Chains A and B, each alone.
Chain A
Amino acid sequence: MNSKAWRNDAYAKVTGKTKYTDDVKFPFMLHAVPVYSDFVHAKIINIDISEAEKSEGVVKVITAKDVPGVNRWGQIIKDFRIFAEDKIYYNGDVVAVVVAETKELALKASALIKVNAEVLPPVLDPEEAIKPDSLIIHESHGTNIINHHKVRKGNVEEGFKTSDVIIEKVFQTQFVEHAYMEPESAVCNPRADGVIEIYAGMQHPFSTRRFTSALLGVPLAEIEVLGVSVGGGFGGKDDTIAIVCSRTALAAKLTGRPVKMSYTREWSIRESYKRHPYKVFYKMGLSKDGIIKAVDTKIIADGGAYCSVTPWVTWRSTVQCCGPYVVENVNCNTYGVYTNNIVTGAMRGFGSPQMNFVIESMVEIAAEKLGIPSIEFRRKNMVRQGSTTITGQKLDNHKVAMEEVLDVMLKESDYFEKFKKCKSNISEDEVYGIGLAMSYRGMSLGAEGSDFCAAIINVQADGSILLETGIHENGQGSESAMCLILARELGVNLERIRYKRPSTSNIPDSGTTVASRGTVMGGGATVNAVKELKKKIFEFASSKFNCTPEEIEIKKDKVFSKNKSLSFEEVIKEMYDERIYPFAFGVFKAPKVTWDEETGQGIAYFSFTYGCQIVELTVSKKTGKVKLLKAFAAHDAGKVANESMTLGQFYGGMAMGTGYALHEELKIKEGKIRSLNFNSYRIPRATDMPEMKAVLVQNPDPNSPSGAKGIGEPTNELMAPAIANAIYNATGERFYKLPMKINVKKVIEVLQ
């Protein structure tokens, strides 16, 4: 470690003082619990709450009938039933919420609710759901296809005709749980002025406010979502927590008392959306000399019972369907599909972990078939400065660091030397393998949505500074990154800065803290706010110093010109004395992006980041156990704001990717989730992880005001293919399905 880490919330967290939502209490607070039915797909006849209403301590039982506003909502398609009304669409649908004096009493009453329904055949296989004769789940939508994204580039028929080798494979991935350590929890307080305050750990307070204002039928200004510490999100604290908040807010409105609804792990896993399982049909045409001539791919994503953000997730998969490789002829068809399975939506990586597993496996299969070393094959096809992507975007507005990160990794891991050891025995029953994967990733939301963010710098009369941005702290350290960027850009000491937790009643809607956009967008807004603030301070100081504003500088808490200087405090105090607010509002609007839905062509993202990861492992010939020995990662992080937290994103992403590769899989039987807690859903433990080596490549991004690139997701999207390639290099067994379970017999056969 070079320097000590810094986080604004470290002291509170390490002493246990941090209050997460479930730690928040209000006087006379009620407790609410959700009620589920046993159905997977059924037409509701009636929901009988009469017994529950009479149960001890019950204040209110809420069903769809009590909704004063709009019960159907969603960020893209308004299909979420906040309370089940017409049908049960999946096993996590909530039929009622019981509000009682204690959680215990609410639970007791919830067992008395009866749901009468007519069972409908569940549609659980997306390939069946996509067929024209399938039962339609959402009749008003007219089809089970949520979305169809395309890429049409060049002429694929021609591309395959002129190919020497054609490879066709089918890949499949699984449902994955976010497993944030803090389950959903919401506390809502009805204020005397009629505003309902929402306290909850979440990534998207502005969407939560929209869900709630819709359900309650009140304007946005009558809901205030306040920041609370978040016990992990990873993309998972968006739609579900928004829905939990809206139900809790309704409970607070109907009872006139503060209400807490804290989920158990079982409810959380049962109801909250997951990572999409994909089935990917991939056909690649190649020339003898190792050029990818054509790609034709069909991607089917199980969207589950409600749309959530399936169109956005699958859009990224579409844009990045050829990985960081230049391909002249591409035909891609991506379908997000309704089923009666658990809802799927945003999760760290957002449609890229699935595709990278496919592409980086395909690349190695292709190289081997052509007899070209896989690294050389990658070099022949990878994007370089000025390359044009499969969507027709020229990569010329930032440094294309694909080869740079690849070279860093090859050197750092001593890849070529170690590659020679593959398949050799490392102990009596363990064989060794090393594997690599690389990717590029479009930064922030891209053409998915409106991408802008606000920051407010409010310097107090004593020189202390309050900073607020529209970005939300999920645990990743975004508040700390913003404070560090402000201190660096303004030229003041970090000690004088306090981060003000954002409130939706104060900071303008800045979107959601997802898509690795926190530091890029919030940092960008902070930099732009500093520019505004400096303008004011420089103008004022120049009048004091009898010079031009251009001659003023701020460094180390001092405001100075060539021959005069004042402390930061003195200047601020004098500004207040002269009735000038040292206050600035900064906005960062992401550079323009374009997209044509029919051709799948356009400037999909305003910039890209580049990453490469390598894994060394052993496979036991006796048990099939995969043991990771060491993992390496290099990503172009742009200009890094907080080194230790950036490294934390690397390590955490790599661990989550390891789970994805080797053991995480939601067990579902006939639409009902069987692995509802950590005893049956296994996330990586300390003993599952190897020592990790992270290399920060730093090419400041000219499109990002702070120079930072997003790094939260890239670190997560490469482990599965790196591990798959390492297992192949160790055993000769190629996996087309996640998670990878080693077939010992097959391994021994192949090795012999």
Chain B
Amino acid sequence: MKIMINNKSYTVPDSFKEKRLTEYLRDELDLTGAKNACEMNACGACAVLLNNEVIKICHVLVKDAEGKKITTIEGMAKPDGTLHPLQQAFVDAGAIQCGFCTPGMVLTAHALLLKNSKPTREQIRKALQGNLCRCTGYQQIIDAVEMASEHYRKN
């Protein structure tokens, strides 16, 4: 079975097909940006993009992602390390504290902005309501998404 992650094709070992996608990413590929925090679809710390749709993968089996295009936080920056404008906005807006929710937040916001490049702050809040953050009170995260939206409008 083959799987496409961050524009790279991987052959999944049989032993991982029936396992959760988080385990495959974290244990096999060392892509640890997707976190285990609730393991029951309730917090968004494991969110990645599957064909540009946000999905919490703590309960997604590897085999169910076959043939799909997965984007993890590790695939957001350019290969030379330059941050994606949305990531840069998170940095500049002070949207990062402990950072545990950050990968899921960035990816969820990315999915929103791909669909709606001029969201209101209320729409941003709605889009992020499945991603829990205990540090920031969300204010600077929403600032960041708003700041980055301009980039999506231009492109």
Q: Which chain A positions have C-beta within 8 A of B49?
A: none
Q: Which chain A positions have C-beta within 8 A of B92?
A: 1, 4-5
Within the complex, the shortest CB–CB distance from A371 to chain B, in Å, comes to 37
Known: A4-B92, A10-B91, A677-B42. A476 touches B32 (CB 8 A): no
User: B134 touching A15 by the CB < 8 A rule?
Assistant: no
Within the complex, the shortest CB–CB distance from A495 to chain B, in Å, comes to 16
Q: Which chain A positions have C-beta within 8 A of B130?
A: 685
Within the complex, the shortest CB–CB distance from A10 to chain B, in Å, comes to 4
Q: Is the interface of A mostly helix, strand, loop or mixed?
A: loop
CA distance A691 to B132 in the complex (A): 17
Q: Which chain A positions have C-beta within 8 A of B115?
A: none
Q: List the A residue with the shortest CB-CB distance to B126.
A: A687
Q: List the A residue with the shortest CB-CB distance to B141.
A: A686
For B96, give its contact among A14, A179, A687 (CB under 8 Å).
A14
User: A14 touching B87 by the CB < 8 A rule?
Assistant: yes
CA distance A233 to B99 in the complex (A): 12
CA distance A730 to B58 in the complex (A): 42
Q: Which chain B positions have C-beta within 8 A of A404?
A: none
Most buried by B among A15, A18, A23, A229: A15
B1 within 8 A of A: no
- Interface extent on B, as a size class? 35 or more
Provide the B111-151 mask, 1 if CB < 8 A to any CB of A, else 0: 00000000001001110111111111111111100000000
Provide the A578-593 mask, 1 if CB < 8 A to any CB of B, else 0: 0000000000000000
CA distance A329 to B121 in the complex (A): 50
Within the complex, the shortest CB–CB distance from B52 to chain A, in Å, comes to 18
Q: Which chain B residues in 76-127 approach chain A with CB under 8 Å?
A: 76-77, 83, 87, 90-94, 96-103, 106, 121, 124-126
For A15, give its contact among B73, B124, B138 (CB under 8 Å).
B73
CA distance A183 to B40 in the complex (A): 14
Known: A648-B136, A677-B40. A182 touches B72 (CB 8 A): no
Q: Which chain B residues in 60-76 approach chain A with CB under 8 Å?
A: 72-74, 76
Known: A180-B98, A230-B98. A689 touches B134 (CB 8 A): no
CA distance A183 to B72 in the complex (A): 21
User: A9 touching B134 by the CB < 8 A rule?
Assistant: no
A519 within 8 A of B: no
Q: Which chain A positions have C-beta within 8 A of B35?
A: 20, 22, 181-182, 231
B53 within 8 A of A: no
Q: Which chain A positions have C-beta within 8 A of B38?
A: 265, 677-679
CA distance A718 to B146 in the complex (A): 29
Q: Which chain B positions have C-beta within 8 A of A691?
A: 121, 139
User: B36 touching A22 by the CB < 8 A rule?
Assistant: yes
Known: A11-B83, A14-B83, A686-B124. A5 touches B94 (CB 8 A): yes
A99 within 8 A of B: no
Q: Which chain A residues in 678-737 approach chain B with CB under 8 Å?
A: 678-679, 683-687, 689, 691-692
User: B26 touching A23 by the CB < 8 A rule?
Assistant: yes
A435 within 8 A of B: no
For A181, give its contact among B30, B124, B132 (CB under 8 Å).
B132
Within the complex, the shortest CB–CB distance from B146 to chain A, in Å, comes to 11
How many A-B contacts are there with CB distance less than 8 Å?
189
Provide the B10-52 mask, 1 if CB < 8 A to any CB of A, else 0: 0000000000000000100011111111111011010000000
CA distance A692 to B137 in the complex (A): 9
Within the complex, the shortest CB–CB distance from B22 to chain A, in Å, comes to 11
User: A686 touching B91 by the CB < 8 A rule?
Assistant: no
CA distance A20 to B106 in the complex (A): 18
Within the complex, the shortest CB–CB distance from A590 to chain B, in Å, comes to 26
Q: List the B residue with the shortest CB-CB distance to A654.
A: B137
Q: Which chain A residues in 2-53 approach chain B with CB under 8 Å?
A: 4-5, 7, 9-20, 22-23, 25
Most buried by A among B45, B93, B99: B99
User: A15 touching B37 by the CB < 8 A rule?
Assistant: no
Most buried by B among A19, A23, A686: A686
User: A476 touching B97 by the CB < 8 A rule?
Assistant: yes
A652 within 8 A of B: yes
Q: Which chain A positions have C-beta within 8 A of B42?
A: 677-679
CA distance A229 to B100 in the complex (A): 9
CA distance A2 to B10 in the complex (A): 45
User: B45 touching A686 by the CB < 8 A rule?
Assistant: no
For A652, give its contact among B74, B99, B136 (CB under 8 Å).
B136
User: A265 touching B138 by the CB < 8 A rule?
Assistant: no
Provide the A211-234 mask, 1 if CB < 8 A to any CB of B, else 0: 000000000000000000111111
Q: Which chain A positions have C-beta within 8 A of B74?
A: 15-17
A475 within 8 A of B: yes
Q: Which chain A positions have C-beta within 8 A of B91?
A: 4-5, 7, 10-11, 14
Q: Which chain B positions have C-beta within 8 A of A679?
A: 38, 40, 42
Q: List the B residue with the shortest CB-CB distance to A680.
A: B42
A528 within 8 A of B: no
Within the complex, the shortest CB–CB distance from A687 to chain B, in Å, comes to 5
User: B142 touching A229 by the CB < 8 A rule?
Assistant: no
User: B134 touching A683 by the CB < 8 A rule?
Assistant: yes
Q: List the A residue with the shortest CB-CB distance to B74.
A: A16
Known: A1-B143, A181-B133, A654-B137. A686 touches B125 (CB 8 A): yes
Known: A183-B37, A652-B136. A16 touches B97 (CB 8 A): no
Within the complex, the shortest CB–CB distance from B87 to chain A, in Å, comes to 4
User: A16 touching B94 by the CB < 8 A rule?
Assistant: no
For B98, give its contact among A17, A23, A231, A692 (CB under 8 Å).
A231
Q: Which chain B positions have C-beta within 8 A of A12?
A: 99
Q: Which chain A positions have C-beta within 8 A of B36?
A: 22, 183, 262
Q: List the B residue with the shortest CB-CB distance to A236.
A: B134
User: A181 touching B106 by the CB < 8 A rule?
Assistant: no
Q: List the B residue with the shortest CB-CB distance to A642.
A: B94
User: B139 touching A181 by the CB < 8 A rule?
Assistant: no
Known: A16-B72, A182-B98, A647-B140. A687 touches B43 (CB 8 A): no
For B97, give its contact among A179, A183, A262, A477 (CB under 8 Å).
A477
User: A229 touching B139 by the CB < 8 A rule?
Assistant: no
User: A687 touching B98 by the CB < 8 A rule?
Assistant: no
Known: A15-B73, A474-B98, A686-B125. A23 touches B43 (CB 8 A): no
A199 within 8 A of B: no
Within the complex, the shortest CB–CB distance from A14 to chain B, in Å, comes to 4
User: A7 touching B96 by the CB < 8 A rule?
Assistant: yes
A610 within 8 A of B: no
Q: Which chain A positions have C-beta within 8 A of B87?
A: 14-15
Q: Which chain A positions have C-beta within 8 A of B140?
A: 5, 644, 647-648, 651
Q: List the A residue with the shortest CB-CB distance to B127.
A: A686
Within the complex, the shortest CB–CB distance from B140 to chain A, in Å, comes to 6
Q: Which chain B positions have C-beta within 8 A of A23?
A: 26, 32
A645 within 8 A of B: yes
Q: List the B residue with the shortest CB-CB distance to A262.
A: B36
User: B137 touching A683 by the CB < 8 A rule?
Assistant: no
CA distance A182 to B96 in the complex (A): 15
Within the complex, the shortest CB–CB distance from B120 to chain A, in Å, comes to 12
Residues of A within 8 A of B (CB): 1, 4-5, 7, 9-20, 22-23, 25, 178-183, 229-234, 262, 264-265, 474-477, 644-645, 647-648, 650-656, 677-679, 683-687, 689, 691-692
Would you list 14 pairs from A and B whose C-beta atoms are within 8 A, ordered by A residue? A9-B96, A11-B91, A16-B102, A19-B32, A22-B35, A181-B98, A181-B134, A231-B37, A644-B94, A652-B134, A654-B137, A678-B38, A687-B125, A692-B139
The 7 closest A-B pairs by CB, nearest first: A16-B33, A475-B98, A644-B94, A13-B99, A5-B94, A651-B137, A655-B137
Q: A5-B92, A180-B134, A686-B142 are in contact. List 12 more A-B contacts (CB 8 A).
A: A181-B37, A181-B101, A181-B132, A231-B100, A476-B98, A476-B135, A647-B94, A651-B140, A679-B42, A685-B130, A686-B131, A687-B125
